[in-house]
Structure 1
Amino acid sequence: MKLGIRIVGDIARTMEAETRAGQKAVTAAMRKAGAGLKSAWRAQITGAGLGSRLARTIRSEQYPKGRQSLNAAALVWSKAPVIVGAHDTGPLIRSKNGFWLAIPMPVAGKSSRGGRVTPGAWERRTGMRLRFVYRRTGPSLLVADNVRVSKAGRVRENITRHKDGRVSSRLQGRATAVIFLLVPQVKLPKRLDLARDARAVENALPGMIVANWTETRS
């Protein structure tokens, strides 16, 4: 018995067409994978209650830009990697100088830039001094004495400054307010699982490439 092999059509053209089909399929699949992972990560962040602003820091890019390739790749990243990474890993946070972490209470307000305020910034902003209160059990405190807390939750000095320079204190409404809790360390809860979505996209990628591969005909 004799077997014969005969090539039908131009093999070079066939291979070239198949390569183009592969480039198109891989590029399209990577574009879809990158966009899908970006959407999944954004949904995770908003679903965890971390806000749409942090979710919008998730970006995606495809390479090579402007052309199709069998080596196409997608990059998904965050423009706030430290914050997103912390919520993804749940790290143990300690003070850099080995002392206390100051956690602001709602009455501390916000910093001038809208973020968390520090004890030093709070004293400069309000002109009031904070007093340290050590507690053997539970967090220690930084408190402000002789203050009034308004209905809006703002802390104000419970004093009157006269035009002649005199300062008088009001007895009515005088209070001590807790401005900061002091703790040696804090364990940030893990609220994200970004690797889970990355694995799902990775597992789906071969099927996405096949689905986008158009059969060529000689």
Structure 2
Amino acid sequence: MKLKLTIDPDIVPMMQAEIAAGERAVTTAMREAGAGLKSAWRGQITGAGLGTRLGNSIRLATYPKGSDSLNAAALVWSNAPVIVGAHDTGPLIRSRNGFWLAIPTPAAGKSTRGGRIAPGEWERRTGLRLRFIYRRRGPSLLVAEGRLNSKGRAVASRAETGRGLTTVPIFLLVPQVKLRKRLNLAQDAERAIDNVPGRIVAGWVEGKWP
């Protein structure tokens, strides 16, 4: 006695179609989740007043590239991880050599490279010597004997008589600084992860039943 079993329609193409639908659903879900997280992080950074340049440091890559997969993944990161991470965690910043952090006042101006100027560069640029003043209360100071120009920057006095000469605070000296936490990137990341299963299910069903 012989029995012959035939499955109609053929189960192999059905399973292949099911796998293909799953691959599309997972890949689309990860791509959308990554794009949403990138947008959310950029929005947080610019909303915190940290500028569009830092916001645009957030990047996105999805894997595999150019094909669908049940193991698809999205990676969101920053090209400026130290700066973004500092604003995300609010760390305690200390001097590298264990002494003082020099915080420039408006009279110091900016570095020729942009950003904050260091005491050594300031002395080389102005030709003035900085003098240390210790204060028991409040930050200690690095001051210079000079005058303030029209931009409020300390410069050397041109008068031989010393007319207009004044003691100008150039740097505030503090042992450490607590950076204020301005970002909460983990919150957006957790929200993106929580939404992935729903995206996959919705995309899988839609892919099967157009």
> Shorter-chain-normalised TM-score: which range?
over 0.9
Q: Does 1:142 align with 2:142?
A: yes
Kept in 1, the 8 Å contact 2:25–2:207? The answer is: no
Counterpart residue number, 2:111? 111
Deviations 1:77-100 (A, max 9, x none): 000000000000000011111100
Provide the residue aligned with 1:212 in structure 2.
Answer: 203
1:29 aligns with 2:29: yes
Residue 179 of structure 1 deviates from its aligned partner by 0.6
When the two structures are aligned, how many residues end up with a matched partner? 204
Residue 199 of structure 1 aligns with which residue?
Answer: 190
Q: Tell me how far 1:6 sits from its aligned partner.
A: 8.2
Rounded Cα–Cα distance in structure 2 between residues aligned with 1:82 and 1:7: 60
Q: Secondary structure at the match of 1:143?
A: strand
SS in 2 for 1:159: coil
CA contact (8 A) 2:29 2:200 kept: yes
| CA gap 1:35/1:169 in 2 versus in 1, 3 angstroms | farther
Gaps of 5+ in 2: none
Give the CA RMSD over aligned residues: 1.5
Cα separation, 1, equivalents of 2:207 and 2:68:
17
Q: Write the deviation string for residues 195-217 of structure 1: whole angstroms up to 9, x where unpaired.
A: 00001101111111122223537
Equivalent residue in structure 1 for 2:181, among 177, 187, 190: 190
Kindly indicate whether the alpha-carbon contact (under 8 Å) linking 1:26 and 1:70 is maintained by their aligned counterparts in 2. Answer: yes
Give identity over the alignment, percent.
65
Find runs of 4+ consecutive structure 1 residues off by over 2 angstroms: 5-8, 214-217
Give, in whole Å, the separation in 1 of the partners of 2:22 and 2:85.
Answer: 35
| Aligned: 1:133 with 2:123 | no
Aligned-partner Cα distance in 2 for 1:7–1:216 = 20
More helix by share: 2
Match of 1:76? 76
CA distance in 2, matches of 1:65, 1:29: 14
1:159 aligns with 2:158: yes
The separation in 2 between residues aligned to 1:29 and 1:183, in whole angstroms, is 49
Answer whether contact 1:158 1:169 (CA < 8 A) is retained. Answer: no
- What secondary structure sits across from 2:208 in the alignment? coil
Question: For the Cα contact (< 8 Å) 1:93–1:187, is it kept in 2?
Answer: yes
SS of 1:112 mapped into structure 2: coil
Deviation per residue, 1:157-187 (Å, 9 max, x gap) = 1134xxxxxxx2432x221111100000010
Query: What is the SS of the residue equivalent to 1:201?
Result: helix
